Amino acid sequence: MEKIMEIQNLRKIYRVGDEKIVALNKIDLEIYKGEICCLLGTSGSGKSTLLNMMAGLEKPSRGTVKIKNKTITKFNEDQMAYFRQKHIGFIFQSYNLIQSMTALENVSLPLIFRGVPHKLRKKRALKLLKDVGISKYAKHRPNQMSGGQQQRIGIARAFAANPEIIFADEPTGNLDFRTTKEVMKLMVNIAREKNQTLIIVTHDRSIADYADRVVYIFDGNVKDIEVRNRNTNKLVDLKEQEDIADIKETNLEFSDDKDIKEDELKKNKENEEKLEDDDENKEI
């Protein structure tokens, strides 16, 4: 696989008074073109700091980040802004939409900075809104839409300029269970179709089921790397994963019910085990 990003000996230290806090400790990592990579860790593990380093939003204390063989850790602010504009897209947990703009205008925004003509911007933005299933809300403003709809706008905006890398920082953190599955399926399938690299940062283990590789971050270190569907170009069929998730949700809903029958629990467990055996993407 073609390597699109290389991280070497990355270290980040924050100073709080006289105290040194090591947020990242000698991270080495490679990211490949077209892969779905999940950075998984609990709050405070360093995963968001790592994302900031990878995207050039913060400077490391030591080490290098290369994207497309360019050492972005040596860029100044203007060079980094220009590089991000050309090669990187972002999907945020809090959507980060401009409230005074319509859905269409929010999606079109990255294309303005790329100098795309108005007519072409509108055409591309409308197609993306259609791809994410909310074209009928093109003239609505964010405060007129649900959280799931706003995140779909965020996804469309991130992919608008066809960036080679998309960073998704806790993209489902504000969404309910069902909407989370819909949003994840959208992101993964669009990235697969365009052979784009999608890097997802999350604390939610169920999100890792959508990734080709899972990088486990713990106390500022890469604890482990799990390879899953690497080098797969097909669109993901999430039906079995959704069925497993539904069974898990059902089990969680009834786990505190003292009156539930033992044979029902046993049946759910057997069904879950059967589905997991058939699914190549075993859960963590």
Residues 206 and 247 reside in one and the same domain: no
Q: Do 281 and 208 share a domain, yes or no?
A: no
Query: What is the C-alpha to C-alpha distance for residues 80 and 77, in angstroms, rounded to an integer?
Result: 5
- For residues 219 and 241, state if they share a domain: no
Domain membership of residue 107 (yes or no) is yes
Indicate if 182 and 92 belong to the same structural domain. yes
Looking at the fold, whether 165 and 181 belong to one and the same domain comes out as yes
14: in domain: no
Same domain, 177 and 261: no
Judge if 228 and 103 occupy the same domain: yes
Query: Could you tell me the CA-to-CA distances from 160 to 87, 107, 164, 196, 199 in Å, in that order?
Result: 11, 7, 11, 12, 17
Residue 6 located in a structural domain: no
Residues 6 or more apart whose CB falls under 8 angstroms from that of 104 comprise 122, 125, 126, 129, 138, 139
Structural domain containing residue 99: 35-60+72-232
Q: Is residue 138 part of a domain?
A: yes
Considering the domain architecture, whether residues 206 and 276 belong to the same structural domain is answered as: no
Tell whether 170 and 244 lie within a shared domain. no
Which CATH number fits the domain that encloses residue 131? 3.40.50.300
Residue 221 lies in a domain: yes
Predicted structure pTM score: 0.78
Q: How far is the C-alpha of 85 from the C-alpha of 96, rounded, in Å? A: 16
pLDDT tens, N- to C-terminus, the chain (284 residues):
799 999 999 999 999 888 999 999 999 999 999 999 999 999 999 999 999 999 999 999 999 999 999 999 999 999 999 999 999 999 998 899 999 999 999 999 999 988 899 999 999 999 999 999 999 999 999 999 999 999 999 999 999 999 999 999 999 988 899 999 999 999 999 999 999 999 999 999 999 999 999 999 999 999 999 998 554 434 444 334 434 344 333 333 333 333 333 444 444 445 544 444 444 444 43
Tell whether 248 and 180 lie within a shared domain. no
Asked if 171 contacts 96 with a C-beta cutoff of 8 angstroms, the reply is no
Same structural domain for residues 183 and 277?
A: no
Cα separation, 246 vs 223, in Å, equals: 29
Q: Is 8 helix (H, G, I), strand (E, B) or coil?
A: strand
Number of domains in the chain: 2
* Claim to verify: residue 78 and residue 211 sit in the same structural domain: yes
